[in-house]
Amino acid sequence: MTWKKQLTVPNILTTLRLLAIPVMAWCIYSDYNRYYTFVIFAAIWLTDCIDGYVARHFNQVSDLGKVLDPLVDKLFQLTTATMMFVVGKLPLWVPIFMFAKEVVMIVGGAILWHRRTVVNSQWFGKLATVLFAAAFASLFFLPHEKSYLSNYIFVVPIAASALALVKYAFFYLDSIWRHRAKDS
């Protein structure tokens, strides 16, 4: 593919999201105005929704976007979780869970890719992402003395994410069984 074919509106939005992540991280860390920081967070999240829509509906899906978009998504989520932990608004178990889940998804995805199988994102994975975004958004407005509430705020997103991981594992196992049946 030529560079020009990769230079699409969705890829430009994804690149802008990537560039905004360190700005958001600094704003969280420096305890900059939480409303401005929230606007940056919301802009990153909303452009993620927009770039996917534009890519699919305006035939701008590209190989670069297929790799870059999910990578930036994960970087955004993990950076947000890590920075919220660093400033004391999030318990350590949340970023650890998120990181471990992503490692499992990456390893499973790499194995499937090696087998030339693609498992597209499913509604339950998207639901977990929306629930995480809502939970993180609430942290921007949670007073520091109430940060213990994040233990409860993240129960539903973590449960949804764990359920999504299990469902993806079933897709993975089904793919392996079909692959073995085809080889026999």
Query: What are 106-116's pLDDT values in tens digits?
Result: 888 787 777 77
Please tell me the predicted confidence (pLDDT) of residue 121.
72
Global confidence as pTM: 0.86
Please tell me the predicted confidence (pLDDT) of residue 119.
66
Please tell me the predicted confidence (pLDDT) of residue 18.
97
Q: At what angle do helices 63-86 and 34-57 cross, to 10 degrees?
A: 160
Q: From residue 48, how far is each of 64, 76, 154 by CA, in Å? A: 15, 10, 21
- Residue 4: pLDDT band by 50, 70, 90 thresholds? low
Q: What is the mean pLDDT of residues 153-165?
A: 94
* Residue 7: pLDDT over 70: yes
Determine the straight-line distance between the first and last CA of the chain, rounded to whole angstroms.
36
Asked whether 139 and 88 are in contact (CB, 8 A), the reply is: no
Q: What is the mean pLDDT of residues 171-177?
A: 79
**Pairwise CA distance, residues 23 & 93, whole Å:** 24
Please tell me the predicted confidence (pLDDT) of residue 3.
62
DSSP 90: S
**Pairwise CA distance, residues 152 & 138, whole Å:** 12
pLDDT digits (tens, 9 = 90+) for 26-76: 999 998 888 999 999 999 999 998 998 998 899 888 888 888 888 899 999
pLDDT digits (tens, 9 = 90+) for 128-151: 999 999 999 999 999 888 988 998
- Angle (CA) 181 120 131, round 5°: 130
Handedness of CA 101, 124, 81, 69 (dihedral sign): positive
Would you state the structure tokens that stand for residue 17, as one six-digit string? 């999201």
Asked whether 169 and 62 are in contact (CB, 8 A), the reply is: no
